[in-house]
Structure 1
Amino acid sequence: MALKGFRIRRLSGHRKYGAAATNLEDLLCKACALLQLPVADARLCLHEDGTEMTKARFQKIPENSELVLLAPGEEWQGYVSEIQRFLNAFSSRTEDIVRAARTLLSDEGSPMRRKLLSDLVHNLSENIGAENRVEDEKWFEGIESRFKTKSSYLRFSCESRIRSYMKEGPFDAESCPGRHSINPYGNKESRILFSTWNLDHVIEKKRTVLPTLAEAVQDREGKEVNWEYFYRLLFTVDNLKLVHIVCHKKANHNLSCDKRKVYRKRKRPPKIRKSLV
C-alpha cells in the first residue's frame, strides 16, 4: 500500500509535524515517537471535528489531513474545543487577544470576519465592572465633572432605562430581528451609542392615548374616567419599548386603548347604619 502523509500535533501545542504511513498502527507509532508520547492507549483524531481514527477511516481520510495525538484521558471536539480554549483565554490574556484581533483587522478582507473581529475588540475593551470616574476615566470623557459614577449619569440622562444588556425591538415585535444589543456601562462608545436608542410608545401617545382620554372626559355621562389606566400609558414604562433608531417604526401603530379600562366603576360611599337608641 502507498504511503499517506498527515500533519500531526499535540492537544496542548500548535507545532505540527509531518508523518507518513501505510496504516493506522504505523502512523500512531511514528506520531508518538515524534511527539514523545507513550504508544499505550494513545489515539489519533481529526483536528477538524474530533472524529477518532480507525483502520477503516485511515483509508478514507484525505492525505495531508491535520490530526491530533491524544494521551489517555484527553478529549478533542474539533472546533468546539478551539472555541472553548479561546473563551477560557479571555480572563487571562484579554490584552493579547485584542492586540491580535486589531492586527488581523488591518489586513482582513472578509466582511464577516471583519465584523466578528470588530465586535470582539469592542466587547473585550469594555470595562463594565467599573462604576466610579477614577476607575474608567475614558468612559466619562465629555461628561460634566459633577457626575462621579456611571449610575448617576445614566440615571440623570435616562431614568427609565435599566442597567443590563438591552434586547428590545419594534412596537409590534417581541424582540428585534436585528438583535441589536448594548450595555451603556461598557465603554465610552457604548455610552454614546446608547443615546441613539428611542423609547417608543406601543399605543401611540398623540394619535391614540390623548384623543381617547379627551373623548372619555367629554362623554363620561356620569362615569368615572380610569385615570390610573391613562397614567400608566403616558408616564410609566408599561407602554414603552426601547428600540434601536434603525428599527424605530414611525408609521401609524393602529393600536387602540382598551375600551374596558377607559372607565371604572364609581366607589359607592359606605352606608351609614343608624344606631339603635
Structure 2
Amino acid sequence: MTSARGFKVTDAERKTRVGIAVKTLDELRKKTVEKFKLKYPPSTIDFQMQDGTVIDSEEYFQTLAAQTLLIWIRKGNKAETDAEMLYKIIREVNDEYLTTGEKIQDFFTEKMKNKIFKLAEVLRGISGDKVKLSTRTEDPEWFEGLDTSVKTKEAYMRRRAQDRIRSYYYKTKEEIMKVAVTGEANILLKTLLEEFSSRLKYYSYHGHYFDRTCSKFEHMMSICDAEGNFTCQGRWDKAVCLYNPPHSINPYASREHRIVFQTWNLDHRKERTRSVIPAIWEALLVCSKTRDCLDCLENHKIKSKGSDKLLAMEMIYNDLFTPVNLKIVHIVCHDKGAHKQKAGPYWTDGFYDSDESD
C-alpha cells in the first residue's frame, strides 16, 4: 500500500500555507477542504504547481515528490504562477521602480509580454557572478522558497524539465482516451501508451533537457550550454529567434532568473492538441482495420497482423516528447494561435506475415 507523503498546500494568493500528509489525490482534496474551511465539495477542486502545471489525475499525483508545494484551485480555474506575480521580483531587485504610483499603475495595466520586457531590463542589472555555483550551501539565495530536499541547481532544473514532459504525457493520454476506440484499435492504443510510459521512464522523463551537466552528451543532451544559458529557438515556423540579439536566459544565475524561466515554453511546432493527437487517432483506425490485431512491438513500430500498415510509434514519440518537434521559446516568441504545420501520417507501409510465429 502507498505510504502517506507530506505536501505543502497554499491558496492562489499565497496567503496561507499548510502541511498535509495523504496517500491519494482524493484524500488531498478532502483534507484541503477541511484545512482551508472551504464551502464547496472536494470534487470541485484541483491542484496546480508553481509553474502552472495542473495536477488533475491520480496517476500524475503519484509521481510528485514529497513536500512539493501545491496551489489549490477550483476546477477549470488557473492561479497566477510565480512568474506572473512579477511585481514581487521587481520589488526585490528594484524598489525605486515601485515607489512611483503612476509607474505602478502602468505596470499592472500592461499585457504580460510587455511586463516581461521590463523585467528583462531589471534582470540585466543582476550580477551573474554566482552562475557557476551549484549547491545550496554555495548559493543559498538561489534556493530561496524551494523545498529543503533540493540540494543542487541541476537537480532542481532536471525536475522542472521532467514536470513539463510528464505533463505532456498525462495530458496526451487523457485527450487520446476521450475518443472511444474498441477492438483492435483499443489494443493498439494500450500498447502505444505502455510504450510511451516505458520509454519516458527509461529516459527519466528527459530531465536532461534543462540539466547543464548534460550539454555534451550525444544521446541525452541538454537544451542549454555547459553554463546553463538557454537561447530562444524562435517561433514555431521560424528557424531561429528573429530578435537581435536573440532572447536568452540563464536560470542558474539567480533566483530571479530561475523564476522568470517559468515563462519560457517548450513549444510543439506541430501542435500536440490540434495536430498530433488527431493524427494519432487517425493512425489507430487505419492500422487496426484487420480481423486479428497483434499486440507487439518490433523495430519501434506496432504491427497489426494481416494489415499492410504499421503504426509509427517512433515518429509519434518524437513529436510529443523530443526536440524533433519541441523548441525552447521565449514568451514573446510563443505563438498561441493555430500552427499550420500538420502532424502525421503516423503509419508506414508494411506487411506482417500472419503465419509467422509471435
- TM-score normalized by the length of structure 2: 0.40
Deviation at 1:225, TM superposition (A): 1.2
- Is 1:166 aligned with 2:238? no
- TM-score normalized by the length of structure 1: 0.51
Query: 1:166 touches 1:183 (CA, 8 Å); kept in 2?
Result: yes
Query: 1:133 touches 1:149 (CA, 8 Å); kept in 2?
Result: yes
Query: 1:225 touches 1:264 (CA, 8 Å); kept in 2?
Result: no
Distance 1:120 1:245 in 2: 17
Query: 1:126 touches 1:187 (CA, 8 Å); kept in 2?
Result: no
1:140 is aligned, of 140, 143, 158, to 143
Deviation at 1:239, TM superposition (A): 1.1
SS at match of 1:133: coil
Distance 1:205 1:135 in 2: 40
Alignment of 1:1-277 (within 5 A): 121-122=125-126, 124-158=127-161, 159=207, 160-163=209-212, 164=225, 165-167=229-231, 168-178=233-243, 179-220=246-287, 221=289, 222=307, 223-259=309-345, 262-266=347-351, 268=353
Query: 1:203 touches 1:255 (CA, 8 Å); kept in 2?
Result: yes
Query: 1:201 touches 1:241 (CA, 8 Å); kept in 2?
Result: yes
What amino acid maps onto 2:262 in structure 1? Answer: S
Greater Rg over alpha carbons, structure: 1
Distance 1:204 1:132 in 2: 37
Deviation at 1:237, TM superposition (A): 2.9
What amino acid maps onto 1:155 in structure 2? Answer: R
Question: C-alpha root-mean-square deviation of aligned residues, in Å?
Answer: 3.1
SS at match of 1:121: coil
User: Where does structure 1 differ by over 4 angstroms across 4 or more consecutive aligned residues?
Assistant: 114-120, 267-272
Deviation at 1:161, TM superposition (A): 2.8
Answer 1 or 2: higher relative contact order, Cα 8 Å, separation at least 6.
2
Deviation at 1:268, TM superposition (A): 5.0
Distance 1:130 1:183 in 2: 13
What amino acid maps onto 1:250 in structure 2? Answer: K
Distance 1:116 1:157 in 2: 21
Return closer, same or farther for 1:126/1:169 CA change in 2, 3 Å cut-off.
Answer: farther
Distance 1:127 1:213 in 2: 45
5+ residue gaps, structure 2, are 1-93, 95-117, 162-206, 213-224, 290-306
Query: Deviation per CA, 1:152-174, whole angstroms, max 9, x where unpaired?
Result: 11111222335232112211112
Aligned length: 159
Distance 2:121 2:240 in 1: 25
